[in-house]
Amino acid sequence: MKVEVIDGAFDPYEQISRYQGQITIKGKFGAVACFIGTMRDFNENERVHSMTLEYYPGMTEKHLSNICDEAAKKWPVIDCLLIHRVGQINIGDSIVLVAVWCAHRGDAMDACRFIIEDIKSKAPFWKKEKLDEGDRWVEKNSSGHSNSL
């Protein structure tokens, strides 16, 4: 399992490929479920230009590791890669990558969703958005579903 908080751009597809090439699980997994979160240009019906993402060093990494461990207790997770970006983030930039390797797709997908939902609702990150009218702190994350459903 690898958990990393980074300050700077990253290519999530390259990270998955590199990590999978380093771990010795070839033939042991039948599924890799991935979630890649990117910076969008709107939130709460307002245009967003960029975002600054802050975190609590040490505490944040521990929380992320703990949630991966918790997922591995609930599902037969073979391995997990979690990368979360902090600092200045621009529109279209990757923010978070969660990749989960399991023998079966259902377990991989369920564990991946469990991890990202925890990150979005409980992990110690703070977002400040740059809007047309100035900056604002994000007080709550979106539900993960569009309101049109």
- Name which residue leads in pLDDT, 146 or 61: 61
**Residue 23 pLDDT:** 86
Instruction: Give yes or no for residue 146 having a pLDDT over 90.
Output: no
CA angle 3, 27, 114 (to 5 degrees): 40
Instruction: Give yes or no for residue 65 having a pLDDT over 90.
Output: yes
**Residue 128 pLDDT:** 97
Domains of the chain listed by start with CATH number:
2-134 (3.90.1170.40)
Give tens-digit pLDDT for 95-128: 999 999 999 999 999 999 999 999 999 999 999 9
Instruction: Give yes or no for residue 149 having a pLDDT over 50.
Output: no
